[in-house]
Structure 1
Amino acid sequence: MAAPPRAPRGPMLLAALPPYAVVIPLAVIQVGATFPAAYFQELTGHVNALTVLLTLLGPLCLLRRRSHPLPTLAAVVVVTVGYLLLRFPVFGPVYLSVVVAVFNAVLHGPRLLAWLSAWWGVAVVLVVMDLVSATYTLGVAQAAFASAWLTLILVLAEIVKARNERMAQAETARAEQTKRQASEERLRIAREVHDVLAHHVSLINVQSGVALHLIDEQPEQARQALSAIKQSSKEVLVELRNILGVLQDVDGNGRDDGSAPRQPVASLDQLDRLLERMREAGLPVNLDIEGDRRPLPSGVDAAALRIVQESLTNTYRHAGPTQATVVLSYLPEELRIRVDDNGRGDASAAASAASTAASSMGSGHGLTGMRQRTEALGGTLTAGPRPGGGFRVAAAMPTRGGRRTEGESE
């Protein structure tokens, strides 16, 4: 299941704030600080309603700063120039709107145009200040001082922009990874559903045919076949319920509280029951275990059971055998699986049965599905007729030091 979205942090948090969260405090500062600035410059007579309006208009222009960064910068510069031309206090907080607009233009606008617009806007403001103020003269020192401040603002904006871009890329990568994991989870569940249905429905199909054939002449054997059908149908319902339970909401509200398994549970612990079921259906199966049986990685454990199940199902459906043998070899760093049957007694018949089995399963299932499952775990799988007759499926999967297995990524 997808992880909940992460709360924005740092610069991303500032970007997530609504526009008025910056505009309102800025407007309060500009209007409130204009009166003390006028007092210290002995220009209190110049402060009137128009002064307040222009100091408010600059912050108001910033309401659309994200969607229109360059027009916003131009509008703020025009308002500031108008403020200066009316000979209101030159030294005051009115330039805060220009600083925010310049920073925003670099943050949200095209880089080259933003830098050119910022230098152009600040140059216009400085020239107008020089023209209207009796106490300010634009010289080399003043120009250098203003240029240094502007460069600092632009560099800070670039740093924040680069960090925002990195964080956005990281969020995109996390979203893509979540989608990829969801796709892999759906594929695993589809394979589980296929394996369960293919196995049990195959047993039901064969046993129902046996029951129909024997119901009149040998009712006792027909009754046994019907009992096997009943048991298989019961087990398939239980297994499907377990698989589909993974897809349901854990707490009924669409949230995963982590208390349920994230994928259907299949393991070699169920092997004895599988072999018993095959014997009840009429296929004698022998089990040989080489080495010390031990816990396996969950992906290998599930794949091993499904490979044995799929192999025996194909044997039961297509090969017409009289006996099958399952061999599990627990090596230090590898698990080997071999499923042999004696088929119809010759290699050509076994090859025909293998072809029929693979084609009947469709693309991506049957032998192909087993091979894909094995290769996904870093292993190999071969399947083909045996020289002396019958059919063999052999698989080998690393139990450590190989590719990460399903269920170990968390």
Structure 2
Amino acid sequence: MSDAKNEIGVAVLGLGNVGSQVVRIIEESASDLAARIGAPLKVRGIGVRRVDTDRGVPADLLTDNIEELVSRDDVDIVVEVMGPVEPARKAILAALEQGKSVVTANKALMAASAGELAAAAESAHVDLYFEAAVAGAIPVIRPLTQSLAGDTVVRVAGIVNGTTNYILSEMDSTGADYASALADAGALGYAEADPTADVEGFDAAAKAAILASIAFHTRVTSDDVYREGMTKVSAADFASARALGCTIKLLAICERITDNEGQERVSARVYPALVPLEHPLASVNGAFNAVVVEAEAAGRLMFYGQGAGGAPTASAVLGDLVMAARNRVQGGRGPRESKYAKLPIAPIGLIPTRYYVNMNVADRPGVLSAVAAEFSKREVSIAEVRQEGMVDEGGQRCGARIVVVTHQATDAALSETVAALADLDVVQDINSVLRLEGTTE
């Protein structure tokens, strides 16, 4: 223990939206937290990139010497909420190697270096907690590592990025195009000045890597996650989705699959997809997140709530901090990394999914049969076809639009089909290709 009063010394790295909320809650709920833990928490210092006395905390707590702070003898637990991958990785490794437990909300770091950090924690016999790295305040990591530890998880799918969900929800409810919905998200503070990490799926891919690693006892990194962004989703796609009884969501999907030879593999992927309106994820709107876990014995479980923001994320951080502090008081440890399965990663080409293909074609006899023939050649079964005429600004017919919905097919077969369709003289444009999730027809 750090001193005669048996206080648990805490170093907080980062004083942004999350860090400031963490410090506030520790101070305002001191007596309650002490009762839950069995010892008081004491903030020993706050690491920042630039010391500024006007930060709303006592100036003597602030330091830009992160290395010195995490090395202090009176620090028992390091809370990292500063990001990005570096210098956070270096600071966390230093803390772990010196016997400090660590709580982090750094999804990019955990997706890239979870194995390295877990090994350091194991070697030092300390805790590494990261509930806040996925879906903010929504408890997902702990149910997977503890509540479902005796079950077999087969699938984890969810909406794990509030920015993209807000944009897609606005496009669905108002008919706005992508650019307008993105501008609204920026004005409301949901989208960063540079939204690339969100709208191109990088943020969701990092979270998918973390979820897949835990759910399937296999180390999965961001590089293992297949990723597509949602910038090409159009108002026309939403109109077609509504006609099919669906909406469109950016999904993170982690799945245990078995190939034709009986080999189990892990699939982790992020992309925009049509979701049937009766599916529980279809009703998750605005900046909210939701994760659906499917396990062999437990069945389907859904976790829903605020996926981002200073206070919600701080709630998850404090939950981890209390667990780590209790372990310090009681002499125990939290769950270790579970990687016994070591399942190989399935390439996207092997993954069976249903598809939606929207294309502009010439308006003449035989076009539909020519299109259907390309699907048939690659054994991609068509479930539904919608065709409508198109007119130009003068009201003259200028072609037709065909929407094809398939039964399940592999990504490789569908990709070959789309490439062949693009080469047909009768096909003018392939407007969009989206997957259809939430159904196995």
Higher strand share: 2
Fold shared by both chains (TM-score > 0.5)? no
TM-score range (shorter-chain normalised) is under 0.3
- TM-score, normalised by the number of residues in structure 2: 0.21
- TM-score, normalised by the number of residues in structure 1: 0.22
Higher helix share: 1
Answer 1 or 2: higher relative contact order, Cα 8 Å, separation at least 6: 2
